Structure 1
Amino acid sequence: MRGKFSFLWVIAILFVYTLTSCGSENVSPASCLVYDYVDFKGTLVRVVYDSKDRVVRLEKQLGDSLWSEAFTYKNNKLDEKRTYNGIGTLLKTEKFRFAGDSAIVSVSGGSEGYRLYFDEKGKTIRKVQDTGDEVRFVYNSLGNLESETHYTPDGKLSFELRFFMGNGGQPFYKTPYSGLIFGPEFSCPNRTERINYETGGHRFEERFQNRYSDSGLLEEVEASRYKDGKLQKKLPRQFFLYSCD
């Protein structure tokens, strides 16, 4: 296994207020790895990367079923995304056709297609559904996502997601339950990291205590969530296995 990396967070909230920054240690993603963790919904998730640090498969253990999404690339761009249910049946295929500063995405399986628009750095700044619904993305000077604003077909504001990521953390994949998986640019060994937010009139804090091996690889995480200052839920200690084929 090459390099160091920091763990992924799943955030399924409307407003995120603060992510504690971790100092100056730069931790690069491992070149290819299988990463397992459990989110606060009790879902086992596995993210598989290729040798170019691209997500090629995402699996979710829902009960006794393993749902999955597979990604293929062409000319260093996402070409196709396929979604399967727990018994391996293909539910839908999303085909990406890039042209200039945008991409048209056609979707099989009865779902509406959409179009993505990119800025000069290749970051997605707009997503427009065939239905007319639109999502706009804003980034800070570091290139990290700052806000995601959703609009109805008639141009009215639906809701907004705000992200204050401190020293890093760009989202690279959206989960089916409207959360975001984040890959921080660096982390701090053996230190509690916190995510604070408010929703439904309550204040929440999620704490993650990381433990690393001598070589710098994440070995285990203890995660807990607090509601209005009181412990609400604590996940069992999570251990991680890696493979690089």
Structure 2
Amino acid sequence: MKATANAKDTIAYGTRIVGGISPGKGGSTHLDLPVFNTVEEVSTPPTSVAPLGYRVLMPFAGHENGPTSSPEQCRVGIMPYKQYQRGCIGIVSKSGTLSYEAVGATTAVGLGQSIVLGMGGDLLPGTTLADGLRLFFEDEETKGIIVIGEIGGEAELRAAELIREYRQSTPRPKPIVAMVAGKTAPLGRIMGHAGAVLTPRDVPADIKAKALEDAGAVVVPHPGVMGVTMKRLLEVDVKKELSD
């Protein structure tokens, strides 16, 4: 029922859904759409995909995506789309839920979002924070970037390396705001995602946050201040451009 409700909302949002997956029910239809047994059976030529949806997903061909959206244009997932607003901030997050918080914060200050990517915190991610960053570095509609990490894995460290390289090689780099969740997480307890667990071998959240800060990102303590922080950074960039 939840999948059906979300599919209806997504279609109403304007996203073209080409089919659904339900093992054992391949060959049937639901919501006037074909149903397949496996993802492998689904084959859609690019011409049948909504242009914006193709623009969002094509950079991640061969990857799996969590909740993903270009506000007022394309919705792929279960995100609470009513708080999304088309704008200029790219958001990439290991936590889908925290990406909603970043969306709310940027909508509240009138910035809106260009593309929002929820990677998920699974042990074997199909898409990484670095993949999302590369997209935002090149995307003309994205003027600022928000990165949200969490405990588990080392994706944040690789993202920090990429941010450092980007800022060193780009004359006018886009401002980047970052946060790493889980600083008070107890050792060994899974915090929602299978990969969101702090083990003795993992890098603690505060070390990840420090790596992102050292790379040039502005690290904030919680998502509630992401919007005002990003707006301030963009205003500083505008003043620099006017003074040059």
- Fold agreement, TM-score > 0.5: no
Greater strand content: 1
The answer to which structure has the higher helix fraction is: 2
TM-score (norm 1): 0.25
